[in-house]
Structure 1
Amino acid sequence: MCHKKYSIVIAEDEPLILENIIEKIEKCNERFTIVASASNGMDALKAIEKVKPDLLFTDVRMPIMDGIELIREVRRIYPDIYIVILSGFSEFSYAQQAMKLDVRDYLLKPLKLDQLVEVLSNIYEKLSQRINSVESEIIISTIYGNKAAKTIPSSLQEARFVLYLTCIGNLQKAAVPSTESLNYSEIWKRIDWDKILGKVWKPFQKWWVIDERVPNEKFLILAIGNETERNIIDCADMLKDTLLPITHPFNITLCTDYISIDYSHIWQTAQKLRSYMEQGLVPGSSSIVVPELINNRKLPSTYIDIVTENGIKKLIEHKDLSMFHKQFMTLLQDWNRNSYPQLWIENALSQFVGIIYRQLISPAFDINEIEAKISDTIAVSTNTNDL
């Protein structure tokens, strides 16, 4: 995973001390970069307004605007900027004032390298945790179609994203039996995404796995650098092959697009992939669903042709259950051989049940209940024989 570099502005009025601070920061931690420096609080505030850093190092006693006033202004305008006070022993009372402004870190001058290393390491962890939390909240809100409550950080604005809608088994209704939901939950827990993605797609910056409305579907979202070039479909194939032993006996379907996208297209792409998954998932079969598959697939214009329908009616009329069963299995095997998608099969079976219902004088079943059972059966089946 790529490490983010955090930006620093330094406010220090003594040139030699400023030079020493810059030298030591550059020497001790490559995860920080100094983007501006100033010799007083006023100039530092202008620099902060321009570059919007992650971190501010500030002396407390400076001309024009001192460090305490600078901290007050930064807290008012940019409350998320992390602040470190630079102070001498004689300035400790100033540092105490800063502590009341929610500043928790300070360094005594002259700076000691080991103390600076420790402070920067702690700050790096805190900043990373904070931005990870913000990014996750924004990505989750976006994938659900909700407007992000927070400003979109540059780490998301500048990244490219690859989305994989991942489905274990077949399409589910919103409500599934609790035992099935539990099974899916256990399968998801067995997936070590860090390990798998390290093999399949490297390098990447970050990843998120986000729940969908049904327990057997999740979005896998990768943030990749602009310089990263991969064949998204090839990676989907590798993901599928890696996940299959984990999801057994259920099939695994991944739905994706051909190109990476920027942040502003995540919601639109997620909606497209949801639609592609519904149109393209083949029950009991592991596959990659892409736009080309949906656009080029030619499905029969009718679910059950008139010749087959008339044959079914005659079998019902003559009460030939053996041939009726054979005809039914022939249809299922034909649909399976042609890899028809689940929704098409559900509609075809509903038509099949409708033919039976209309043919019987006094049907002993509720057609709506049967159609619901058809959907439930297909949802949890692992092969055609289950039907």
Structure 2
Amino acid sequence: MGDMVMSSNFRVVLAEDEPRILQFLERKIQCLDSRFEVVGSARNGMDALALVEELHPHALFSDVQMPVMNGLELLAQVKSSCPDVKAVIISGFRDFDYVREAMRYEAVDYLLKPVLDEDLLKLLHKLADELEEAVRLQEREAISKAIENRLDLTISSVLSHPQNYCITLIAIGHLMNNSSQILHSRVFQNIWKKIDFQRILEKSGIALKNWWFCDGWNVNHKYLVCYAEEMAAVESGLPVLLDELKPFSGGYPVNLCMLPDALPLYKLHEGVLALQESVGRALIPGISQILPLKSEETKDSHPAILTSNQSQLLKSLISSGRTDEVKKQLENTLQNWIDCRYPQMVFENGLRQLFRLLASATSITDENELYLVQYHTLAFFSTCRTPEELFPEIWEAALHFLNKQALEKDYGRKTAEDVEQYIRLHYTEDISLETIASIMGFHSVYLNRIFKKEKQITPIQFLINLRIEKAKEFILQHPDWDFTTIGESVGYHDPHYFSRAFKKVSGMSPSEYRSMVHVSLKI
């Protein structure tokens, strides 16, 4: 994209060594077609090349035979340094070799001297049509690059161009993450292909002389760009445009958002960011509408989407194993969010709250697992046509947590029973939590947590209690045994440690317990 982009006139440089012909061409070109302006002239090829490289004209009219550098050599140099310049050869030579050589350097035409008005006018009209199309394509490229923030800010003529642009975002479907865009790109490409934008604009009563539909960052977004003076036509036609687009959206909602102010080319990216921000904050799942542009100061005010009462009720239902009631409550919660018309971002935050609650209520502590469930559901949400389609996904996620909780309960119960059985069989031995964990194939911390959750007591405390209960039985059954023997019989080889453990569990020393038992037996 060169300096010629979006100029109001087509600039021409002339190269002709005969002053009379040079003046004639300058006068005739500007007289026959006012769209052309001669901005420089030279009487040899070298000076002409310098002018072309300095002025970046749209077209170069050059004689063949000139001093210093002839016309064909000039064309070769121009093609290398300024390939966008369209060249026309003017010569009195009818030799086809000149024509062929000129065409090799992509000259657009070849005029013979003396140049007739009719021939020159015909060529100017043809050249203007080609240049207008080229300028339009270059302007589209500049707009697209500006939207994508890839505009070359060093191109002074683009930045100084006085034209301002009106930009409107057309969004089909919901907000989408990168993964969803990749997976559903073909779906939205097919939707866009079916839309005849020229016809849609006409049916919407939006008559625009110059307009462009440009791609956005998202596969389901397009931008309608037009000149500032046509902004009113777009704004008044938005309601009809919305209705005209709906039949082509494949059942997805359609949202439009228009910048209230026109922007110069180099600020289009800022406008796009503002539109994206507004759509991101205001898009309501399943609803087609014209969205207002929200300023940075605008505060979104929504109540807590998942209330404490709803949270407590769900936890209670999950804890009591009332699966059918859990499903009903989830359906009611989702329908309430839909009826409240929460924006998608608020809706998604509510889903994250909901999944974290489900994970907490079912004792799922794996953050990666929670993330994957959230990611899968939110990805589906971004590509569904209506929020009602989301419930089966939410319920599937809830069942994942509930079923895993049931499996973990069974597994935890079985593990705790195995640990208890091992302790009962080996309580007389010198065992520790690490010993039990190693034999069971678990980490000691995990085993301790599982056992305590199922038995409401740690494995070591269970071992101590079991040993003391067995010691009490020996005291009762063997009144002649000393406490050292009894302690060793239940796994304590230090009589002082046994005495302390006994007193801590039963509230009295072994001797006090024996005395109490004997008194009871006598009575």
Q: TM-score range by the shorter chain?
A: 0.7 to 0.9
Residue number in structure 2 paired with 1:159: 163
Residue number in structure 1 paired with 2:88: 84
1:249 aligns with 2:248: no
Distance 2:182 2:80 in 1: 49
> Which of 385, 389, 395 does residue 386 from structure 1 map onto?
389
Distance 1:256 1:28 in 2: 42
Residue number in structure 2 paired with 1:112: 116
SS across alignment from 2:115: coil
Shift, 1:386, TM fit: 1.5
Residue number in structure 2 paired with 1:356: 358
What's the TM-score once normalised by structure 2's chain length?
Answer: 0.61
Q: 1:149 to 1:293 in 2, by over 3 A?
A: closer
Deviations 1:73-132 (A, max 9, x none): 756764432221221137988777766765453201122345334433443454345444
- My pick for the range that moved more, 62-71 or 172-181, is 62-71
Residue number in structure 2 paired with 1:285: 287
SS across alignment from 2:179: coil
Distance 2:149 2:113 in 1: 50
SS across alignment from 2:213: strand
Q: 1:378 to 1:146 in 2, by over 3 A?
A: same
- My pick for the range that moved more, 114-123 or 262-271, is 114-123
SS across alignment from 1:219: strand
Distance 2:129 2:249 in 1: 35
Contact 1:170 1:380 in 2 (8 A): yes
Give the letter aligned to residue 194 of structure 1: Q
Unaligned stretches of 5+ residues in structure 1 = none
Residue number in structure 2 paired with 1:207: 212
Residue number in structure 2 paired with 1:218: 221
Ranked by relative contact order (alpha carbons within 8 Å, sequence separation 6 or more), the top structure is 1
Shift, 1:12, TM fit: 4.6
Shift, 1:264, TM fit: 1.1
Residue number in structure 2 paired with 1:145: 149
What's the TM-score once normalised by structure 1's chain length?
Answer: 0.79
1:25-64 superposed matches below 5 A: 25=29, 29=33, 32-36=35-39, 38=41, 40-41=43-44, 52-60=56-64
1:367 aligns with 2:370: yes
SS across alignment from 2:37: strand
Q: Percent identity?
A: 25
Contact 2:311 2:357 in 1 (8 A): yes
- Structure ranking higher in helix proportion: 2
Contact 2:166 2:231 in 1 (8 A): no
Give the letter aligned to residue 279 of structure 1: R
Unaligned stretches of 5+ residues in structure 2 = 1-5, 391-523
Residue number in structure 1 paired with 2:317: 315
Contact 2:174 2:285 in 1 (8 A): yes
Q: 1:78 to 1:195 in 2, by over 3 A?
A: same
Distance 1:56 1:153 in 2: 19
Contact 1:299 1:340 in 2 (8 A): no
Distance 1:94 1:369 in 2: 70
Deviations 1:43-73 (A, max 9, x none): 8678757754211223345689875676577
- My pick for the range that moved more, 274-283 or 12-21, is 12-21
Contact 1:58 1:85 in 2 (8 A): yes
Q: 1:294 to 1:110 in 2, by over 3 A?
A: same
Distance 1:203 1:155 in 2: 23
Alignment size in residue pairs: 382
Shift, 1:240, TM fit: 1.9
> Which of 264, 267, 270 does residue 269 from structure 2 map onto?
267
Give the letter aligned to residue 225 of structure 2: L
Residue number in structure 2 paired with 1:187: 191
SS across alignment from 1:53: coil
1:174 aligns with 2:141: no
